[in-house]
Amino acid sequence: MKHFFLILIFTFFNISNLSALNSIATHAIIYDYQTNEILYEKNAFEKTPPASTTKILTSYIVFDQIKKGNLKLNDKFRVSEKAYKKGGSSMFLEINSMVTVEDLLYGIIVQSGNDASIVVAENISGSERAFTDLMNEYATKIGMKNSNFVNSSGWPHPLHYSTMYDLAVLSKAIIRDFPDMYKMYSEKEFTYNNITQPNRNSLLELYEGTDGLKTGYVKDSGYGIVVSTLKKNRRIIIAVNGLESRKSRVIESERLLNWAFRNTKLETLFKKGEVVKKTDVWLGTKNQIDLIVGQDILTTLKSEQKDSIDTKIIYDKPIEAPILKNQEIGKIIIEIKDKDTLEFPLYAKDSIKKINPLFRVFSAIRYLIFGNINND
């Protein structure tokens, strides 16, 4: 017996016209984690230097290698001369020293160490150049469609770029795929080589519910950040770039988060297994069948949109037995003002067998005379 289940996957639904909002960032996105809806975007699909937010992908790869059993947190990597001499933000590694993968991850995530990023790249792939091939392979699998990486740290390069949308997709992936290791992103400081450095993501301290992710800065694109905040079981991800200062980065991030949580609400339209229609069965041992949704159907709404929801149930009538439990029967179409139409399969709640052949002719006559006796 085949079983069919709905897997809720939204590509994206842009509802940025929910209310007036204009970010001072050159590039911005507000992204709902549960539904993948874009609540607001400004040049979110335009390529821009990701700077140190690149390190989210670097840490994703390390997390995945640990999950697959190829690495352990207590494995040690050697620090090369290239890593030791790299400029910019640093974990202050000593040349030829042996450093655990766990410390290197904290150095990448908390201290934004360019040196730590190069060390993991070289030790995983043999060279940073080879590691970037792996980065681009992972980016494609994750769903980052307009990104290209030529180093592991985010060091400026004309061929090193990403988009706010891609960074939001990456951020969702690391939270979803590695919930335990992702907790590293919420660490507020880390000490290595007797040097304590605070997490550059000050929103961990300033904005309730924030548990990640990463800041970034390069001269060509200004200050940027990717932030994830969880409030009342709802997670919002924002990504911005092109701000003039660290202060404006914090203020703008807070403003976008406030807008998202105040102006939109996550709504469950139907719960998994909920009956949305009861309809007649033709030539079955039961006269009716319940049609259900296979998984929670979620969407993000403004208050005025709650009264504009219209649903349509589509299926071929009459439904003829035999019917298998979880067999796809039809679909539900949901229309909401100022949103793209949503469409999901409907499934049979139970199995129904065919009736005894001796009774089929009587059922056929009854149907022809009386039609749909249940007024479906």
More confident call, 324 vs 180: 180
112 carries an active-site annotation? yes
CA distance 345 to 325: 14
CA distance 304 to 322: 43
CA distance 137 to 12: 22
Question: Which among 59, 90, 112, 162 is annotated as catalytic?
Answer: 112
303 carries an active-site annotation? no
Q: Looking at residue 256, what is its pLDDT?
A: 97
pLDDT for 295-344, tens place per residue? 888 888 876 777 778 888 888 887 888 988 988 888 999 888 878 888 89
Q: pLDDT > 90: what percent of the chain?
A: 65
- pTM value? 0.82
Q: Looking at residue 260, what is its pLDDT?
A: 95
Looking at residues 203-227, what average pLDDT do you find?
Answer: 96
CATH: 3.40.50.300, 2.30.38.10, 3.40.50.2300, 2.60.410.10. Which one for 269-370? 2.60.410.10
Domain ranges of the chain: 16-263, 269-370
Q: Is 212 helix (H, G, I), strand (E, B) or coil?
A: strand
CATH superfamily of 16-263: DD-peptidase/beta-lactamase superfamily (3.40.710.10)
Q: Which amino acid is at 182?
A: Y
Token code pair at residue 130: 């080879």
Q: Is 332 helix (H, G, I), strand (E, B) or coil?
A: strand
Token code pair at residue 232: 């009342």
Q: Looking at residue 250, what is its pLDDT?
A: 97
Residue 351: exposed, middle, or buried by beta-carbon count in 10 A (0-12, 13-18, 19+)? middle
Alpha helices, DSSP H, located in 15-127: 55-67, 81-85, 101-109, 114-125
Mean predicted lDDT score pLDDT of the chain: 89
pLDDT for 96-127, tens place per residue? 999 999 999 999 999 999 999 999 999 999 99
pLDDT for 29-71, tens place per residue? 999 999 999 999 999 999 999 999 999 999 999 999 999 999 9
16 carries an active-site annotation? no
Question: Which among 23, 42, 55, 349 is annotated as catalytic?
Answer: 55
Alpha helices, DSSP H, located in the chain: 55-67, 81-85, 101-109, 114-125, 128-142, 164-177, 203-206, 246-263, 357-370
290 pLDDT band (50/70/90 cuts)? confident
Question: Which among 52, 89, 202, 253 is annotated as catalytic?
Answer: 52
